[in-house]
């Protein structure tokens, strides 16, 4: 690297630490010459004489330069490692202070308009933007994540999915094509075709992507939304079309996972049946609403029967509570059952 390009790089990095162009020039000149007067600095750094005093005062305030008493005043730099560390510490502290003073105000401003934005569908214009948003959505999941993806995506998604699984979030992964079992998720299924990439976190936000089966030749089209009607459509498609007709190649239920919450009743039914077939005692907790009255419902009991009819689209769990009462549980928009479940927790 040439001396000139090295000086330019140093200038850039000093500016990234908050120095102005004149301050960076003066600092580097002083660093080279050790001790100088303001006139010497002005001349060698090509800083107008009327400006040089303000520049040197700012460097002194930043802790990078020390000035002598008497006339003429002499300037020299402080030891760079210590001075720059103190400067960085002050910058970090100031950024934290600004963040704390801003975040609540900005969140309030955002929330006031967020409801209007929920209905919108936002275009993601590049693969990097798509990945960023998918990772954001994955990180937001608290209960359940549904994700369909291609093998070429897994290296980027795997660290975030593993972290989510360690938090106890139930992950259903469907991969298109041929894939090795991904044993860091609750269940992994394979669909030997191409399809739409879908990422749904807690039935509250979603990314979907088309044309990502050949990333070297085709530019994918990505979209993000919180539109509950569109999410409901994609959620039903994921569960009853993708998942139902994909080949199961791995599940952790009954092996290393014995407790999970679900928003989708069908997945809760599958876990209940797997645990009961292995001879384990199972308890179900339900949070939702009574279908007839609309009142909130919180129930706990033993699952005595499960029903899933793919053709008719019926999914039901029948539980017996501690007082011997039998209650039927349905999923999203239930009307045949006693309770519409918001979520179901399966415990063994």
Question: Each residue's pLDDT tens digit in the chain (348 positions)?
Answer: 445 557 788 988 999 999 999 999 999 999 998 899 999 999 999 999 989 999 999 999 999 999 988 888 899 999 999 999 999 999 999 899 888 888 888 887 777 665 555 678 899 989 999 999 999 999 999 999 999 999 999 999 999 999 999 999 999 999 998 789 999 999 999 999 999 999 999 999 999 999 998 888 888 999 999 999 999 999 999 999 999 999 999 999 999 999 999 999 999 999 999 999 999 999 999 999 999 999 999 999 999 999 998 877 789 999 999 999 999 999 888 888 999 999 999 999
C-alpha 326/C-alpha 316 separation (Å) is 13
Collapse the DSSP code of 283 into the 3-class scheme (helix H, G, I; strand E, B; otherwise coil) and give the result. Answer: strand
- 342 Rama sector, left if φ>0, alpha if ψ -120 to 50, beta otherwise: alpha
Architecture of domain 3-78: Orthogonal Bundle (1.10)
Q: Which of 35, 104, 125, 26 lies closest to 73, judged by CA?
A: 35
Please give the CATH number for the structural domain made up of 121-251. Answer: 3.30.870.10
As a whole number of angstroms, the distance between CA 252 and CA 275 comes to 11
Residue 335: closest CA among 313, 320, 306: 313
- The answer to whether 91 and 16 have CB atoms below 8 angstroms apart is no
Q: Is 261 helix (H, G, I), strand (E, B) or coil?
A: strand
What is the dihedral sign for C-alpha 281, 286, 292, 295? positive
At 191 the three-state DSSP class reads: strand
Domain ranges of the chain: 3-78, 121-251, 259-347
How far is it, in rounded angstroms, from Cα 254 to Cα 278? 7
pTM above 0.75, yes or no: no
Please give the C-alpha separations between residue 201 and each of 133, 195, 297, in angstroms, as whole numbers: 12, 19, 23
The conformational region for residue 73 under phi > 0 = left, psi -120 to 50 = alpha, else beta, is beta
pLDDT 10s digits, 239-294:
999 999 999 999 999 999 999 999 999 999 999 999 999 999 999 999 999 999 99
Question: 58 to each of 40, 50, 55, 62, 141, how far by Cα in Å?
Answer: 17, 14, 5, 6, 47
Contact 221, 210 (CB under 8 A): yes
Instruction: Give 152's DSSP letter.
Output: G
Closest by CA to 300, choosing from 345, 253, 255, 233, is 345
Query: Which residues, listed in sequence order, are joined to residue 327 by a DSSP beta bridge?
Result: 319
CA distances from 248 to 180, 192, 243, 252 (A): 12, 12, 9, 11
| DSSP three-state, residue 70 | coil
Give the other-Cβ count within 10 Å of 329's Cβ. Answer: 27
130, two tokens: 């798509």
The CATH classification of domain 259-347, taken from the options 3.90.1150.150, 2.60.40.10, 3.50.50.60, 2.30.30.690: 2.30.30.690
Q: Which helix (H) or strand (E) holds 213?
A: none
Whole-number Å distance between alpha carbons of 165 and 184: 7
Whole-number Å distance between alpha carbons of 94 and 61: 15
């Amino acid at each position: 690297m040439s001396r000139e390009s090295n000086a330019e790089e140093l200038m850039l990095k000093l500016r990234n630490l908050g120095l102005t162009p004149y301050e960076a020039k003066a600092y580097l000149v002083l660093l080279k010459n050790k001790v100088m007067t303001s006139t010497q600095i002005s001349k060698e750094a090509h800083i107008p004489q009327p400006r040089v005093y303000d520049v040197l005062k700012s460097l002194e305030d930043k802790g990078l330069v020390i000035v002598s008493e008497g006339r003429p005043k002499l300037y020299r730099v402080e030891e760079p490692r210590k001075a720059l560390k103190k400067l960085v510490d002050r910058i970090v502290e100031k950024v934290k202070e600004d963040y704390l003073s801003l975040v609540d105000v900005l969140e309030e401003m955002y929330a006031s308009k967020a409801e209007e934005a929920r209905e919108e569908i936002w275009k993601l214009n590049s693969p990097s933007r798509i990945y960023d948003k998918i990772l954001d959505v994955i990180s937001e999941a608290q209960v359940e994540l549904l994700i369909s993806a291609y093998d070429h995506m897994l290296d980027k998604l795997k660290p975030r999915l593993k972290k989510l699984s360690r938090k106890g979030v139930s992950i259903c992964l469907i991969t298109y094509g041929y894939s090795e079992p991904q044993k860091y998720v609750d269940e992994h299924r394979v669909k030997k075709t191409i399809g739409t990439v879908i990422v749904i976190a807690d039935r509250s936000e979603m990314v979907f992507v088309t044309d990502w089966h050949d990333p070297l030749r085709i530019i994918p089209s990505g979209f993000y939304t919180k539109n509950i009607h569109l999410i409901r459509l994609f959620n039903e498609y994921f569960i009853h079309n993708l998942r139902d007709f994909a080949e199961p190649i791995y599940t952790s239920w009954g092996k290393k996972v014995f407790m999970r919450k679900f928003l989708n009743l069908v997945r809760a039914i599958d876990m209940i049946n797997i645990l009961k077939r292995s001879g384990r005692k199972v308890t179900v907790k339900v949070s939702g609403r009574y279908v007839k009255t609309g009142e909130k419902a919180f129930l706990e009991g033993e699952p005595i029967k499960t029903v899933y009819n793919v053709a008719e689209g019926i999914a039901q769990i029948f539980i017996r509570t501690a007082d011997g009462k039998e209650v039927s549980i349905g999923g999203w928009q239930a009307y045949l059952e006693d309770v519409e479940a918001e979520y179901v927790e399966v415990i063994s």
